[in-house]
A and B are shown apart, each in its own frame.
Chain A
Amino acid sequence: MPGFSGGGIGGGVGGPASAPPRPFRPSRYVPVSAATFFLVGSTTLFFCFTCPWLSEYFSSVIPIYNAVVFIFTLANFCMATFMDPGVFPRAEEDEDKEDDFRAPLYKTVEIKGIQVRMKWCSTCRFYRPPRCSHCSVCDNCVEDFDHHCPWVNNCIGRRNYRYFFLFLLSLTTHIMDVFGFGLVYVLHHRQRLDTPHAAVTMAVMCVAGLFFVPVAGLTGFHIVLVARGRTTNEQVTGKFRGGVNPFTNGCFRNISNVLCRSQAPRYVGRWRSPQSVEIQTPFLRPALTEAQLEAKVLDNGIQNDRHSSKSSLDQNESQSADAEPPPPPKPELRYAGLPRADTEESSLLTEAPPTPSMYKYRPAFNSPGRNHTGHTHPNKSSRQPSYRSEPSSLDGVTVVGGGIGVRRGGGERGEGPGGPGGPGYSLTGRSYTSYPSSLVLSTGGSHTSSLRSAHTAHNPLATLHSEGTTDTSYKSLANQTPRNGSLSYDSLLTPSESPEFESAAHELSPQKLTPLQGYMSPFLSAQIAQQREGQLLQGSATFSSPHRAYLRAVSPPPPETQHLLQHNQDPSTRGPRNPSSSSSSPGARSLEPPVSPPPRGLSLSKSQAHRVGAGGGQQTNAFCVNSRFPISISLSILHFNLLFTHNPPPPHFPPLPYDCPTRFTSRPVSTNHATSKPGGGVKKVTGVGGTTYEISV
């Protein structure tokens, strides 16, 4: 990590280390030693015992030719052995602070129209570029990883594949030459085979013949690979079996890529020139147009989240031809993400960073075409510290609530006091706290990734990523909708499932305390409002305890209900109450016939309610009746209760909490138009924002 001496940057000799020093394992050197021994030894014997006669008998071109081939073979062998195959240096800690333990294991990228997965490498701390793979023997990620060759004791990758390929070709040629000329010698000395020369020649021929079969086989295999533009890794793992290879450019181009491309540079161990750049305040700032400012004030992060949620859905749909097992399904991933955070930390402290599986979650990532969405989210979450640290340091700009737009919108119109600036520039010299830098650089101090993950694991939960957490938890919630709905139904039938749900809800809840003050997406607000109405309804149902009728919200509340949510500290741990009913069109006002209740429904709901109520006690404070409850509302609720019948709950409806008997919120019913039409079998009541409730009489 280059030292940041007060804004200047100094370079240093050598780059970041690629791998920690590994224990010396002599067994690794056996194959390469054997290969070297046989190659050099056999050829030397050939030159000493066979070639003199050949040069005399035929011409001296033969030894020269053999020498050239041998030197070429040896040179390629040395290059393949000693050349860096294209090792990626470990990512710096700053780079993956976004890809923390909640980032997904895979990232999808589109290459020539084909979806390719990039896997997160927990050792190297980045998403492996396409065709890159981590070699367990060398403990490095290698670019264009072909295979790890024991005979050269090195990985074969982008930089040295050409030499390996040429080594195979030249070795096959050399073996054929040695065998062929040895055969000529032996055939000419049939009657004098007892001489040492003949014996040696025959021994050399045996060795050559022995090695010829595997080497020629391997050579043929790689000729096919080169022609098809595949690596050994891809061929062996069957990545493109029956599929299309996005990395091929046609046979001729593939071959010329291998043989004629300029030597790729090494990434590790580079000499970095000490070029320094001086950073001097004040900084130039670009002038923002009015439209830009307005857009930023209104944007409020909705754009980003919409893209992020969209791209997260797209990631579900994309199928790569990877032979690896598919990533874990999304809902479980997010669902179990947070409870497992602790296990991730503890395991990291004790062992090398494991491949994060379930809890490696990131909501937004996708092809480069959509990568802006993929990266707005991590950029946004990485941006959080900077705006969090400057809550009120901006003037003039009416910043959006919650402050997502703060950083972007603020400060640009600050005027330098007579500062020169170019046209359209303003020297602001505004100061921002270095809170995020302290976070970032302090993590740099701890060199072990385990410590770093433990260190940052708390921060995201507490402060730094709470906005990001909002989004992740929001997205997790948003996409959990059907699952939670089904869970709550299942919990009615099988109470054993609910504790799991509650414990996850507990984990989810602490992080969602803060973010609701700011931006609330329409979708989430709709869920929350539904949930709150559900709470209201169930609260009102308990008001008259013997009856357990449930009101069903026919229409989902529109986004205007987000004002409700600012008072609600913990909205959506239970998920939406009635996803299936909300599927009906908002305009539907149809009468629905009462359904006969399942016989067990009530008893289960009673026990269920108790458990859920106990678990949700801390969360449902906002749902308790306010003493300042308007009388008109309570009257209207009474009115509702009188009309309750013994109707069965819709399957997805939550059970009744018994701890707080009047556990409902005033909000949905507060302002209104409790327009109840006394009539036939169904009563219709409109809540706030047009939500309609139908009560079966």
Chain B
Amino acid sequence: SPQQIICLHLTLSPFHNLQELRHSASLANKVFIQRDYSEGTTCKFQTKFPIELESRIERTLFEDTVKTLNNFYAEAEKIGGQSYLEGCLACTTAYLIFLCIETRYEKVLKKIANYIQEQNEKIYAPRGLVITDPIERGMRVIEISIYEDRGSCGSSSGSSSVSGSTAR
């Protein structure tokens, strides 16, 4: 079929430009994973698999990601020895200690940021998805951007430049 021929042409071309391929992905939609408030105001996100991602990523991968994030946040907000010690230290130093050390929450947030970056690189970006760190949205939602590829294996509604040039 002509579509297959077009695809073959693209993949076999030795000069296929990464730049071109990158530009061929465009933001199509955004999914927002909302907070799960069933246990109060502790930070927890819903693990319900959104419909838009059904064709883009496996349910288990997505749920793993969200559950790991939830665990991270639970760890950050945990009231335990470290947080208590931090509080006492802060009081005794008139909170000047905050200029020097990083709070427990901030440390976990860094871990979360690294985790999200790693997930994006390994799992989500190959599927055309990008997770935005919820801290950028005030920890209200996890924003997942869905990208579509345009301008590659042409369909009737594809980018005209690609399909037009290779259709002959």
List A residues at the B interface (Cβ < 8 Å).
4, 6-9, 15-16, 71-72, 74-75, 79, 88-89, 91-92, 94-95, 109-112, 116, 126, 129-131, 143-144, 163, 166, 246-247, 249, 256-257, 259-265, 267, 270, 272-273, 275, 277-286, 288, 304, 367-369, 371-372, 375-376, 379-380, 382-383, 385-386, 389-394, 407-408, 411-412, 416-419, 428-434, 436-437, 440-441
User: Is B37 a contact of A281 with CB atoms below 8 Å?
Assistant: no
Task: Choose among B40, B106, B153 the residue that contacts A246 (Cβ–Cβ < 8 A).
Answer: B40
User: Is A110 a contact of B30 with CB atoms below 8 Å?
Assistant: no
- Residues of B contacting A394 in the complex (Cβ-Cβ under 8 angstroms): 155
User: Is B158 a contact of A283 with CB atoms below 8 Å?
Assistant: no
Q: How far is the CA of A129 from the CA of B140 in the complex (A)?
A: 8
Q: How far is the CB of A302 from chain B (nearest CB, A)?
A: 14
Task: Choose among B38, B51, B137, B149 the residue that contacts A380 (Cβ–Cβ < 8 A).
Answer: B51
- Residues of A contacting B34 in the complex (Cβ-Cβ under 8 angstroms): 368, 371, 375
User: Is B8 a contact of A393 with CB atoms below 8 Å?
Assistant: no
- Residues of B contacting A256 in the complex (Cβ-Cβ under 8 angstroms): 79
- Residues of B contacting A111 in the complex (Cβ-Cβ under 8 angstroms): 37-41
Q: List 8 A-B contacts (CB under 8 A).
A: A75-B94, A94-B30, A94-B143, A131-B41, A281-B24, A411-B55, A432-B155, A437-B27
User: Is A440 a contact of B29 with CB atoms below 8 Å?
Assistant: yes
Q: How far is the CA of A42 from the CA of B11 in the complex (A)?
A: 79
- Residues of A contacting B154 in the complex (Cβ-Cβ under 8 angstroms): 431
Asked if B74 is at the interface (CB within 8 A of a chain A CB), the reply is no
Q: How far is the CB of B40 from chain A (nearest CB, A)?
A: 6
User: Is B52 a contact of A383 with CB atoms below 8 Å?
Assistant: yes
Q: How far is the CB of B93 from chain A (nearest CB, A)?
A: 9
Asked if B152 is at the interface (CB within 8 A of a chain A CB), the reply is yes
User: Is A419 a contact of B11 with CB atoms below 8 Å?
Assistant: yes
User: How many contacts A-B (CB < 8 Å)?
Assistant: 256
- Residues of A contacting B86 in the complex (Cβ-Cβ under 8 angstroms): 262-263
Task: Choose among A95, A265, A417 the residue that contacts B8 (Cβ–Cβ < 8 A).
Answer: A417
List B residues at the A interface (Cβ < 8 Å).
4, 7-8, 10-11, 18-19, 21-32, 34-41, 46, 48, 50-52, 54-58, 76-77, 79, 82-84, 86-87, 90-91, 94-95, 98, 103-106, 109, 113, 117, 120-121, 124-128, 130, 135-141, 143, 147-159, 162-163
- Residues of A contacting B8 in the complex (Cβ-Cβ under 8 angstroms): 417-418
Query: Chain A: interface secondary structure?
Result: loop
- Residues of B contacting A418 in the complex (Cβ-Cβ under 8 angstroms): 8, 11
- Residues of A contacting B19 in the complex (Cβ-Cβ under 8 angstroms): 6
Closest A residue by C-beta to B117: A275
User: Is B138 a contact of A382 with CB atoms below 8 Å?
Assistant: no
User: Is B25 a contact of A72 with CB atoms below 8 Å?
Assistant: no
User: Is B156 a contact of A417 with CB atoms below 8 Å?
Assistant: no
Q: How far is the CB of A321 from chain B (nearest CB, A)?
A: 15
- Residues of A contacting B163 in the complex (Cβ-Cβ under 8 angstroms): 431
User: Is B30 a contact of A440 with CB atoms below 8 Å?
Assistant: yes
Closest B residue by C-beta to A370: B48
Q: How far is the CA of A75 from the CA of B158 in the complex (A)?
A: 62
Q: How far is the CA of A438 from the CA of B128 in the complex (A)?
A: 17
User: Is A434 a contact of B150 with CB atoms below 8 Å?
Assistant: yes
Task: Choose among A392, A411, A429, A436 the residue that contacts B152 (Cβ–Cβ < 8 A).
Answer: A429
User: Is A72 a contact of B94 with CB atoms below 8 Å?
Assistant: yes
Q: How far is the CA of A614 from the CA of B142 in the complex (A)?
A: 51
Q: How far is the CB of B111 from chain A (nearest CB, A)?
A: 13
Closest A residue by C-beta to B5: A417
- Residues of A contacting B87 in the complex (Cβ-Cβ under 8 angstroms): 259-260
User: Is A261 a contact of B83 with CB atoms below 8 Å?
Assistant: yes
User: Is B150 a contact of A7 with CB atoms below 8 Å?
Assistant: no
Q: Which of B18, B37, B84, B135 has the most CB of A within 10 A?
A: B37
Q: How far is the CA of A390 from the CA of B158 in the complex (A)?
A: 9
Closest A residue by C-beta to B105: A262
Closest A residue by C-beta to B31: A379
- Residues of A contacting B26 in the complex (Cβ-Cβ under 8 angstroms): 4, 7, 434, 437
Q: How far is the CB of B74 from chain A (nearest CB, A)?
A: 12
Closest A residue by C-beta to B39: A112
- Residues of A contacting B137 in the complex (Cβ-Cβ under 8 angstroms): 89, 91-92, 95
Q: How far is the CA of A16 from the CA of B138 in the complex (A)?
A: 10
Given known A-B contacts A116-B37, A430-B153, A265 and B11 have beta carbons under 8 A apart: no
Task: Choose among B18, B32, B38 the residue that contacts A368 (Cβ–Cβ < 8 A).
Answer: B38
- Residues of B contacting A6 in the complex (Cβ-Cβ under 8 angstroms): 19, 22-23, 25
Q: Which of B4, B40, B154, B156 has the most CB of A within 10 A?
A: B40
User: Is B55 a contact of A288 with CB atoms below 8 Å?
Assistant: yes
Task: Choose among B18, B48, B79, B162 the residue that contacts A371 (Cβ–Cβ < 8 A).
Answer: B48
Closest B residue by C-beta to A118: B37
Q: How far is the CB of A16 from chain B (nearest CB, A)?
A: 8
User: Is A386 a contact of B29 with CB atoms below 8 Å?
Assistant: yes
User: Is B36 a contact of A368 with CB atoms below 8 Å?
Assistant: yes
Given known A-B contacts A259-B87, A279-B22, A417-B11, A368 and B37 have beta carbons under 8 A apart: yes
Closest B residue by C-beta to A249: B40
- Residues of A contacting B136 in the complex (Cβ-Cβ under 8 angstroms): 15-16, 89, 270, 272
Given known A-B contacts A283-B126, A393-B157, A267 and B94 have beta carbons under 8 A apart: no
- Residues of B contacting A278 in the complex (Cβ-Cβ under 8 angstroms): 22, 125
Q: How far is the CA of A7 from the CA of B25 in the complex (A)?
A: 5
Task: Choose among A95, A264, A385, A433 the residue that contacts B157 (Cβ–Cβ < 8 A).
Answer: A433
